[in-house]
Amino acid sequence: MFDPVLLVSFVTVAEARSFTEAGRRLGLRQSTVSQHVKRLEEAVGRRLFLRDTHSVALTVDGEAMLGHARGILEAHARARRHFATSTLRGRVRLGVAEDVVQTRLPEVLRQFKRVHPSVEVELTVALSGALFGLLDAGKLDLVLGKRRPGGERGSLLRHEALVWAAAEGTAVDPERPLPLVLYPEPSVSRSITLDALAAAGRSWRIACISTSLSGLRAAALAGLGITVQVRGMLAPGLVELPWGPGLPPLGEIDLVLTGARSAAAEPAAQLARALMQDALAPEGRDGAGGRGRTSDTGGVNAVLYR
């Protein structure tokens, strides 16, 4: 069996067409890479590269070895992935707020399933208020949702800015009731929006109610009214409207992770840890949407299950 270390150096040289560049990519000295290739050539009994002072090219045998080497390295990678998975078993019932699904959640769940293939994840997507009700009724183990700033329930992942959003070119007439496209009750963003309008003395009317983000987006794009969304989770096609006459500032909303006491089993704790560590940044691990996050994930049970 060919040594994978030698194969890695060989493939890197073949792709870089340079021993020096291969060494740089691998973090090795050029002499070490050359030694690896020499040992591989001795093992196969064939010359794999044609070299001069200006270029490096694969021989016919080198071309054949390149295909085999890539196949062997991929098999090694598959074996590592297989034996890197855990033996954890069980079920986690996860509830996620409608717009939070638009974040990195699919990537986090995919990675979790890769590491814990024997853990079943049941996903429920709904409004945060409804999810917290299901959690209290014992029908969910974890909820990734939203709360008003300063709330005590759950573990804070991020503060997010709430913004007015509409189709591009939408004009706001401060003299007429503001047409709103909102989630129904119980919706945290809805209650924050109506409170902000009441505090500003701004008149409003409901133009559309939808339980889904796609419904809100469609209504806003159709020009039926203006909606409110998390800045870091703005639906495609919508643009943020600046504060001004007729549009009071909305402040922030908290993205939180909450667990039931009965969910302190290891599968739920592991999924909670994965969600907290990633914090679901909209544009990568440190996306622009959030200003703060929970950093101590060691005491997941103590933080969530209270």
Helix 30-44, helix 4-16: angle, nearest 10:
110
Contacts of 8 (CB under 8 A, 6+ apart): 26, 73
> Domain 90-154+256-275 is classified in which CATH homologous superfamily?
Periplasmic binding protein-like II (3.40.190.10)
Per-residue confidence of the chain (306 residues) as pLDDT tens digits? 788 899 999 999 999 999 999 998 888 899 999 999 999 999 999 999 998 877 899 999 999 999 999 999 988 877 776 666 567 888 999 999 988 887 788 888 998 888 888 899 999 999 998 999 999 999 999 999 999 988 878 888 888 899 999 999 998 898 899 999 999 988 899 999 999 999 999 999 999 999 888 999 999 999 999 999 998 888 889 999 998 878 999 999 998 999 866 545 788 988 988 888 765 444 433 333 444 333 333 444 444 544
pLDDT at 24: 87
Q: CATH 3.40.190.10 occupies which residues in the chain?
A: 90-154+256-275, 159-252
Structure tokens that stand for 300 in this block: 């997941």
**Alpha carbons 95 and 144: distance in angstroms, whole number:** 6
**What is the CATH number that goes with domain 159-252?**
3.40.190.10
The answer to whether 206 and 252 are in contact (CB under 8 A) is no
Structure tokens that stand for 144 in this block: 């990734």
- Length, in residues, of the chain: 306
CATH fold for the domain made of 4-84: Arc Repressor Mutant, subunit A (1.10.10)
What are the Cα distances from residue 55, in Å, to 39, 109, 225?
20, 45, 64
Q: Determine how β-strand 178-182 pairs with β-strand 226-230.
A: parallel
pLDDT at 304: 52
**Alpha carbons 75 and 237: distance in angstroms, whole number:** 43
pLDDT at 78: 76
50 - beta bridge partners? 57
pLDDT at 182: 95
pLDDT at 86: 65
